[in-house]
Structure 1
């Protein structure tokens, strides 16, 4: 079963020439290349737009390392460039690797040149979500309570991986062919959640965890007794080969790095929906850490340091 969430990140991008990707990764005006950098300079690859959990986690890692005296540089890129650059040493860390399914092809191709720094989230999965006070408890209930949801399931992009899972597996598997499966865009799906909460109407949408919508709206997941939405995945941080030997302190901190649904949802929500931080991810992290003063200490075992604050934009 193909469980990648959005079509533009499909694993087919692995087929792009490794040489071209390496050149592209190294040609950025905001070069995050590892060549010539000191042992105290760390480069973090940021995920493409739309992978909010990875962006949020990356900026938390950046803050922790900066407080410990490291100079941290960030650079966003497409997934193919990221994994090629990580394998070639152009990046040190990438924090948003979904396993065992979504990014399996990248690990198959580049895994021998990478090392796993650990799992920081273990409940990444495709979901069907409804407002918390609506009648359905499982996906199977949508057949019985279809009218309560206007006989409609609101999806995301027509070409998204999750859309394919819902259309080809979930709907026929639960006998929901009479339910209108409305596809448009992720933003339209989120707008339907906002509209339903404002009006007090019921809504059923395709969603995934982790996502800030679980913090922003009063929603819950429907049970999936047949397992047709796929199993939960883990989100790992990966590094270039030899990173743990070169930076055993960071490797130790990353083993301690864990985020719960509530934590990642709250942080994503600050970054995406708080006007003060929409263009200031580092400010959002600072605000989040101020509300979670023990989090950084749980990683490093001591209070935040006063290290370098040099950064490069993403």
Structure 2
């Protein structure tokens, strides 16, 4: 009887040790929130690939709009996101949720937002949109993305500041906006869109930002990684990787162009991760 009890105890200890080792080496389930912008699809799928292939995690992808993305990390229903455009575009969300999240800092430097047009258009400034002939050629419309996105809120402000009340801002999606732009570009037609860098459309088309003399869109921005409170304690390896994750606009654009060229986000992310081992090793340095 004593031997049986000892065997049961031994088996229990072995299971506990195995479970502990598994927990230390990975096995975490990570929920990543992201917005369906080409830039954020690229970064979030690269993060997913590293978490799954290098840190033995299971990743759940939560595609939402900007507001719910911030809210989800703040209330803990998402573990992290790598899509916080600061200090300008997401300033209102940072003000609302900043105390309820951990800002892990910059993952990409040198972003920009504003109104973009094909280079063949004879425009230089947002002020030029007030010209009646220009407005008529554009059917008095600005092609936007998802309602609630920071760039949409900035564009609403720009329409007021630059007296563009005659214009309509079309709400759509990042993909639909890019499709409209590509169609107009291929036909050499006038169009103005809400644009941001990095984005594959600047790699595939000759575009320019309209000057913003009133500074509505602000200057160059950065993309930050934001984690929920408690992630560092719950998943230290995941937290360390997210804290160390950073890359350049040029690196991000490689992934975006591959996706635009027909690869799935998973395929493009795997290609980039497999092709940049030194960068990936730097991201996971120090993780046992």
TM-score by length of 1: 0.64
Q: Name the CA distance, whole Å, in 2 between partners of 1:83 and 1:154.
A: 26
1:42 pairs, out of 28, 32, 49, with 28
Moved more, 144-153 or 54-63: 144-153
Q: Name the CA distance, whole Å, in 1 between partners of 2:93 and 2:168.
A: 31
Conserved 8 A contact 2:103-2:227:
yes
1:242-279 CA deviation, whole Å, 9 max, x = no partner?
Answer: 433565555444344223333323323433x33342xx
Q: CA deviation at 1:52?
A: 3.8
Moved more, 155-164 or 62-71: 155-164
Alignment match, 2:118 = 131
The answer to whether residue 211 in structure 2 is matched with residue 226 in structure 1 is no
Q: Name the CA distance, whole Å, in 2 between partners of 1:134 and 1:293.
A: 42
Alignment match, 2:270 = 286
Moved more, 109-118 or 50-59: 109-118
Conserved 8 A contact 1:158-1:183:
no
SS of 1:38's equivalent? Answer: helix
Conserved 8 A contact 2:49-2:273:
no
Q: CA deviation at 1:113?
A: 4.8
The answer to whether residue 195 in structure 2 is matched with residue 207 in structure 1 is yes
1:171 pairs, out of 159, 168, 175, with 159
1:263-309 CA deviation, whole Å, 9 max, x = no partner?
Answer: 323323433x33342xxx2212012335545432442459xx9xxxx
1:123-172 CA deviation, whole Å, 9 max, x = no partner?
Answer: 455311111343323323445695498245432269555455434x3235
Alignment match, 2:80 = 93
1:49-100 CA deviation, whole Å, 9 max, x = no partner?
Answer: 5244333222212222334333232231646766566456554332223444
Conserved 8 A contact 2:111-2:223:
yes
Q: Name the CA distance, whole Å, in 1 between partners of 2:71 and 2:189.
A: 46
SS of 1:95's equivalent? Answer: strand
Q: Name the CA distance, whole Å, in 1 between partners of 2:59 and 2:146.
A: 35
**CA 1:139/1:121 → structure 2, altered by over 3 Å: closer, same or farther?**
same
Alignment match, 2:223 = 235
Q: Name the CA distance, whole Å, in 2 between partners of 1:146 and 1:297.
A: 55
Alignment match, 2:8 = none
Conserved 8 A contact 1:154-1:205:
yes
Alignment: residue pair count: 262
Alignment match, 2:183 = 195
Higher helix proportion (structure 1 or 2): 2
**CA 1:202/1:149 → structure 2, altered by over 3 Å: closer, same or farther?**
farther
Query: What stretches of structure 2 of length at least 5 have no aligned partner?
Result: 1-21
Q: Name the CA distance, whole Å, in 2 between partners of 1:82 and 1:144.
A: 38
**CA 1:111/1:234 → structure 2, altered by over 3 Å: closer, same or farther?**
same
SS of 2:124's equivalent? Answer: coil
1:216 pairs, out of 198, 201, 204, with 204
Q: Name the CA distance, whole Å, in 2 between partners of 1:292 and 1:65.
A: 15
> Superposition RMSD on alpha carbons, in Å?
4.0
SS of 1:41's equivalent? Answer: coil
Alignment match, 1:12 = none
Q: Name the CA distance, whole Å, in 2 between partners of 1:229 and 1:54.
A: 19
Alignment match, 2:14 = none
2:250 pairs, out of 233, 251, 262, with 262
